[in-house]
């Protein structure tokens, strides 16, 4: 079947790791359409992997299978899971890399590996336990190759999820960064990501701000209006990017380099004026 | 239909921007064959994007659709266009990024957005105005995702060009760098591009030089013969590369780093000797 | 036919070189499935290209066609060849870049371009001499585009190998690095590759070491046990990676940067204890 399989990893593009996974996938399903999301996640940075995945998967057709391999605990006791939502399927280590996806799917209540009390409809998690679909001998260092790639490929050929392992009612999720509302009415946001252009992407969302009355502080500087485009203002500007997050940009340059911004840094939205 | 769609952008490969565009394309036409040309165009460098595109598109089959997104003016008043030549289709902002393509198609006379007096046969430009084929809500920051990707995908499914907007008789083009002939007969060429190997690619073309009587000056150094291969000479050498441009190379090393060369630098071909 | 064609080059991803090759391939066989192995081989580094290829091709289905273009001698007298093994087809310059592949296929005896006395069954080498399948005019600088890409594409459409040139009984191979056994019983291994994570991959293989009695020296430091996973130990650790080679890693960091290791450096396995 012509199912789409995407890959998000921290493998880089110099080595043959990604290609080896693709070889395994095509060997099982030559008609799979393989799409790279990113292989430039910082090594072992589960949080960044979770975020980058979250900005890509919504644009893929229903039924797309997403493999995510940012997996510092490979070979340890961490579980491997399949998360099935109404729209997509995710194959990944159970280390939090699906936290944004789960959050989008209203899996807000579950933190840590405790059982969920309220499990949203249409959502299922399977623990991958049946070695019948793995490559053997299974390495203890590259489950992307030996477990995730073949599982995703077999899912794309129509093998039922139950074949890979049994349903579980827990999943490891980390808390999604959220802006913090102060008593004054101000909002403290956090830098989630710095993109290729040096645009600073924060956890402040469209619904958190008022375009008419906008005042932002970042790294000791003020931005006093909300722009629509990167081209609109000279110097620093703020706008809501295509994924709905408030971004800080610098026309034709890198705002992050200019401001010395790093992931986790705070921005303040003045709303109590 | 199994049409080819290529992508040339300045998005880099770290983020999910390219993948999101691919998701949109495949969602509309799962049989599109998507090929990356480059995503490493320097941010906002329309000239470089235009050049790199120009060295790739001639090798693709007739009917290939090329999406080009180097788009510093996204969301502003700049137009979005479809350029249809005898051989290919280009979907891009109207900011000059198609200048080399237009030049190749003999669109030499048109500079700026003035109407063309002589429009080569087989060439048409459409202004993209019909929002019926866009993703909604259209962001003001990522037309690659919301406009260019879906338009290219719909073209690949056979939607007639007229559906996307009306024919226009203007297009924004920048002057293609050309070597300058001096009264002495010498030629002043310009560095167009520095490639991954550090080869220095100039705007001097095969027909501008005489292999038998060749003498080049670059950065205070002389090259006194024209080579056929990178392997031929030790030290600096000059040859005509596969795209027909005169290149300066350094055997097993980077000529650009060795000479400190930058884009726009001059080289001199002595022809008056 | 839906044959897989892979690409391993030192072209980088900034320029249009790789895309141009893909355009040529798709123009000949629109149903070819093209997979990038790596384009980040260090410029002209035939040894690295040979190694990276060797860690990817075993994961591809039988019949896959691998194009390898790390080709500092392009346009010179070096030959172009097709190596056909029982499992795969390789199209490459005859400069040693297929040395690991040949080694895997038991072509151990052949060094240099001397004729082979014992040629393993199922293995054939063709010298590419018939220009009928090349792009014309053939450049002297980019045989990837003009020769290797079209040859691979025509192979994928079923053209018999004999059409491209005649069988030859010689192939250029370099000696595969092998660990050296000392009289003391110790083993001197060599660093073959440093991967994206900074893991140090050596030529010591699983069968060369004893997991129960393991003692390794590298850059003046000792590792006294063999780990199973990257997660197992804090600090430096040694394990056998997915390709069967002994690796030295540093948990959540780069062992190569920490130790200042370079390709070719020695490690010592103490076995005479």
Domain B180-269 has CATH 1.10.10.2120: no
Query: Cα separation of A165 and A126, whole Å?
Result: 6
Please determine, for residue A15, whether its predicted confidence score (pLDDT) is greater than 60: yes
pLDDT band at B108 (very low <50, low <70, confident <90, very high): low
CB contact under 8 A, A23 and C60: yes
Q: Are A246 and A192 in contact (CB under 8 A)?
A: no
pLDDT band at B109 (very low <50, low <70, confident <90, very high): very low
Mean pLDDT of chain B: 92
The percentage of residues in chain B with a pLDDT greater than 90, rounded to a whole number, is 82
Query: Cα separation of A115 and A110, whole Å?
Result: 8
Position B116 scores a pLDDT of: 54
Q: Are A241 and B139 in contact (CB under 8 A)?
A: yes
For A238-266, b where at least 16 C-beta lie within 10 A, e where not — what string? bbbbbbebbbbbbbeebbbebbebebebe
**Chain A contact partners (≥3 CB pairs within 8 A):** B, C
- Residue B16 sits at the vertex; the CA angle it makes with B13 and B17, to the nearest 5 degrees, is 85
Computed on alpha carbons and rounded to an integer, the radius of gyration of chain B in Å comes to 20
Position A272 scores a pLDDT of: 67
Please determine, for residue B273, whether its predicted confidence score (pLDDT) is greater than 70: no
Question: Which residues of chain B does A196 touch, with a Cβ-Cβ cutoff of 8 Å?
Answer: 11-15, 17, 43
Tokens coding C270: 């103490």
- Hey, is the C-beta of B33 within 8 angstroms of any chain A C-beta? no
Helices C17-28 & C149-156, crossing angle to 10 degrees?
30
CB contact under 8 A, A12 and C196: yes
3-state DSSP of B156-190: HCCCCHHHCCCEECCCCCCCCCCCEECCCCCEEEE
- Hey, is the C-beta of C153 within 8 angstroms of any chain B C-beta? no
CA atoms lying within 13 Å on the CB side of residue B146: 18
Taking the CA atoms of residue B6, residue B12, residue B13 and residue B18 in that order, the dihedral angle to the nearest 10 degrees is -50
Give the single-character DSSP code of A58. G
Chain C interface test: which of A5, A7, A17, A19 (most C C-beta within 10 Å): A19
Q: Are A12 and A40 in contact (CB under 8 A)?
A: yes
Question: Which residues of chain C does A29 touch, with a Cβ-Cβ cutoff of 8 Å?
Answer: none
Position A112 scores a pLDDT of: 42
Please determine, for residue B135, whether its predicted confidence score (pLDDT) is greater than 50: yes
- Which chain C residue has the Cα nearest residue B250? C72
- Hey, is the C-beta of A23 within 8 angstroms of any chain C C-beta? yes
Query: Cα separation of B202 and B186, whole Å?
Result: 15
Going by C-beta distance under 8 Å and a sequence separation of 6 or more, which residues neighbour residue B247? B199, B200, B201, B202, B238, B239, B240, B241, C141
Query: Cα separation of B151 and B128, whole Å?
Result: 9
CB contact under 8 A, C230 and A30: no
CB contact under 8 A, C60 and A27: yes
CB contact under 8 A, C53 and A22: no
Question: Which residues of chain A does C52 touch, with a Cβ-Cβ cutoff of 8 Å?
Answer: 14-16
Mapping DSSP to helix (H, G, I), strand (E, B) and coil, where does residue A229 land?
coil
C-alpha of B124 from chain center: 18
Please determine, for residue B112, whether its predicted confidence score (pLDDT) is greater than 70: no
Question: Which residues of chain C does B196 touch, with a Cβ-Cβ cutoff of 8 Å?
Answer: 11-15, 17, 43
Residue in C227, C83, C249 with CA at minimum distance from that of residue C168: C83
Position C110 scores a pLDDT of: 43
Catalogue the E-assigned strands of chain B. Answer: 4-9, 33-38, 64-69, 80-84, 88-93, 124-127, 167-168, 180-181, 187-194, 200-205, 216-218, 221-223, 236-240, 245-250, 266-269
Position A199 scores a pLDDT of: 97
The pTM assigned to this predicted structure is: 0.94
- Hey, is the C-beta of A210 within 8 angstroms of any chain C C-beta? no
Least confident span in A17-26, B59-68, B113-122: B113-122
ipTM of this predicted structure: 0.94
Residue in B250, B239, B249, B230 with CA at minimum distance from that of residue C73: B230
Query: Cα separation of C14 and C17, whole Å?
Result: 9
Tokens coding A61: 């057709």
- Which chain A residue has the Cα nearest residue C36? A19
Q: Other CB atoms closer than 10 Å to residue A197's CB: what's the count?
A: 22
Position A109 scores a pLDDT of: 41
Tokens coding B268: 């001199």
For residues B125 and C273, the model is more confident at B125
Long-range contacts of B229-236 (CB under 8 A, 24+ apart): B229/C73, B229/C74, B229/C75, B229/C76, B229/C140, B229/C141, B230/C72, B230/C74, B230/C75, B230/C141, B231/C72, B231/C73, B231/C74, B231/C75, B231/C76, B232/C75, B232/C76
Query: Cα separation of B67 and B82, whole Å?
Result: 9
- Which chain C residue has the Cα nearest residue B2? C30
- Hey, is the C-beta of C33 within 8 angstroms of any chain B C-beta? no
Query: Cα separation of A245 and A262, whole Å?
Result: 17
Q: Are A192 and A51 in contact (CB under 8 A)?
A: yes
Give the single-character DSSP code of B62. T
Chain A interface test: which of C206, C228, C229, C263 (most A C-beta within 10 Å): C229
Q: Other CB atoms closer than 10 Å to residue A44's CB: what's the count?
A: 19
The neighbouring-strand residues paired with B200 are B194, B248
C-alpha of C26 from chain center: 25
Cα→Cα distances A24→A18, A92, B190, C57, C195, Å: 10, 16, 47, 10, 20
- Which chain A residue has the Cα nearest residue B32? A33
Query: Cα separation of C64 and C26, whole Å?
Result: 16
Please determine, for residue B133, whether its predicted confidence score (pLDDT) is greater than 80: yes
Residue with tokens 């048109």: B110
Chain A interface test: which of B9, B13, B16 (most A C-beta within 10 Å): B16
Mean pLDDT of chain A: 92
Picking from A2, A64, A197, the nearest residue to B43 by CB comes out as A197
CB contact under 8 A, A56 and B19: yes
A205's enclosing H/E stretch is strand A200-205
pLDDT beneath 50: ranges in chain C:
109-115
Cis bond before residue A137 (omega within 30° of 0): yes
CB contact under 8 A, C16 and B197: no
CB contact under 8 A, A33 and B26: yes
The percentage of residues in chain A with a pLDDT greater than 90, rounded to a whole number, is 82
pLDDT band at A4 (very low <50, low <70, confident <90, very high): very high
Tokens coding C195: 């991967």
Residue in A67, A64, A123 with CA at minimum distance from that of residue A91: A67
CA distance C2 to chain A (A): 8
A4-173 has which CATH code?
3.40.50.10790
Query: Cα separation of B38 and C17, whole Å?
Result: 9
Position B107 scores a pLDDT of: 62
CA distance C61 to chain A (A): 5
Domain residue limits, chain A: 4-173, 180-269
Q: What is the count of residue pairs from B and C with beta carbons less than 8 Å apart? A: 101
- Which chain A residue has the Cα nearest residue B143? A242
Please determine, for residue A53, whether its predicted confidence score (pLDDT) is greater than 60: yes
CA distance B208 to chain A (A): 36
Question: Which residues of chain B does A232 touch, with a Cβ-Cβ cutoff of 8 Å?
Answer: 75-76
- Which chain A residue has the Cα nearest residue B144? A242
pLDDT band at A82 (very low <50, low <70, confident <90, very high): very high
Query: Cα separation of C69 and C9, whole Å?
Result: 5
CA distance B60 to chain A (A): 21
Q: Are C103 and C58 in contact (CB under 8 A)?
A: no
Give C187-222 pLDDT, tens digit per residue: 999 999 999 999 999 999 999 999 889 999 999 999
Residue with tokens 């130790």: C259
Position B178 scores a pLDDT of: 94
Query: Cα separation of B42 and B145, whole Å?
Result: 19
Position B111 scores a pLDDT of: 39
For residues B271 and C258, the model is more confident at C258
Tokens coding A203: 């956890």
pLDDT band at A166 (very low <50, low <70, confident <90, very high): very high
Chain B interface test: which of A13, A56, A88, A198 (most B C-beta within 10 Å): A56
CA distance C141 to chain B (A): 6
CB contact under 8 A, A26 and C61: yes
Give B9-29 pLDDT, tens digit per residue: 999 999 999 999 999 999 999
- Which chain C residue has the Cα nearest residue B252? C44
- Hey, is the C-beta of B58 within 8 angstroms of any chain A C-beta? no
Question: Which residues of chain B does A55 touch, with a Cβ-Cβ cutoff of 8 Å?
Answer: 15-16, 20
């Amino acid at each position: 079947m012509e199912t789409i399989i995407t890959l998000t990893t921290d493998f880089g593009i110099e080595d043959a790791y990604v290609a080896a996974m693709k070889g395994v996938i095509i060997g099982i399903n030559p008609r799979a359409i393989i799409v790279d999301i990113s292989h430039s996640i910082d090594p072992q940075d589960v949080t960044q992997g979770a975020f980058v995945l979250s900005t890509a998967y919504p644009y893929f057709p229903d039924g797309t299978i997403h493999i995510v391999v940012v997996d510092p605990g490979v070979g340890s006791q961490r579980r491997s899971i399949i998360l099935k939502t109404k729209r997509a399927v995710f194959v990944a280590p159970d280390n939090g890399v699906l936290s944004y996806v789960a959050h989008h799917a209203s899996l807000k209540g579950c933190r840590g590996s405790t059982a969920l009390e309220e499990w949203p409809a249409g959502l299922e998690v399977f623990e991958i336990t049946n070695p019948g679909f793995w490559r053997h001998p299974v390495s203890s260092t590259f489950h992307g190759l030996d477990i995730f790639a073949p599982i995703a490929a077999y899912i794309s050929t129509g093998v039922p999820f139950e074949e890979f392992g049994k349903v579980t009612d827990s999943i490891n999720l980390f808390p999604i960064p959220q802006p913090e509302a102060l008593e004054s009415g101000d909002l403290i946001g956090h830098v989630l990501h710095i993109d290729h252009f040096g645009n600073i992407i924060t956890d402040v969302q469209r619904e958190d701000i008022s375009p008419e009355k906008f005042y932002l502080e970042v790294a000791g500087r003020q931005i006093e209006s909300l722009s629509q485009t990167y081209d609109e203002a000279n110097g620093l500007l703020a706008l809501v990017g295509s994924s709905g997050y408030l971004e800080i940009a610098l026309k034709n340059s890198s705002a992050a380099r200019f401001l010395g911004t790093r992931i986790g840094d705070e921005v303040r939205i003045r709303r109590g004026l």
